[in-house]
Amino acid sequence: MAPEILGLLLAAAVAAGWVDAVVGGGGLLLLPALMVAAPTTPLATLLGTNKLGAVFGTASAAIAYARKVRVDRSVVLPTAGLALLGSGLGAALATALTADVLKPIIMVVLAGVALMVVLRPSMGASPDPRPRSRNRLLATLALAGVAISFYDGVVGSGTGVFLIIAFTAVLGMDFLQASASAKIVNVCTNIGALTVFALGGHVDWLLGLGLAVCTTLGAQIGARMALRRGAGFIRAVLLVVVLALLIRMGWDVFA
Q: How far is residue 99's CA from residue 195's CA, in Å, rounded to a whole number?
A: 21
Q: What is the rounded CA–CA span in Å between residue 93 and residue 57? A: 24
Which pLDDT value is given to residue 91?
84
Sign, CA dihedral 70-72-74-79, equals negative
**How many Å apart are CA 83 and CA 190, to the nearest integer?**
9
pLDDT digits (tens, 9 = 90+) for 57-102: 999 999 999 888 888 888 889 999 999 898 888 888 876 665 566 6
Q: Are 227 and 25 in contact (CB under 8 A)?
A: no
Question: Between 205-229 and 3-22, two packed helices, what is the crossing angle to 10 degrees?
Answer: 40
Mean pLDDT of the chain, nearest integer: 82
Q: When comparing pLDDT for 233 and 50, which is higher? A: 50
**Of 152 and 231, which is predicted with more confidence?**
152
Predicted TM-score (pTM) of this structure: 0.80
For the beta carbon of residue 46, count every other beta carbon within 10 angstroms. Answer: 26
Query: Which of 95, 108, 86, 11 minimizes the C-alpha distance to 45?
Result: 95
pLDDT one-digit tens code per residue, 7-40: 889 998 998 899 888 877 787 778 878 888 888 8
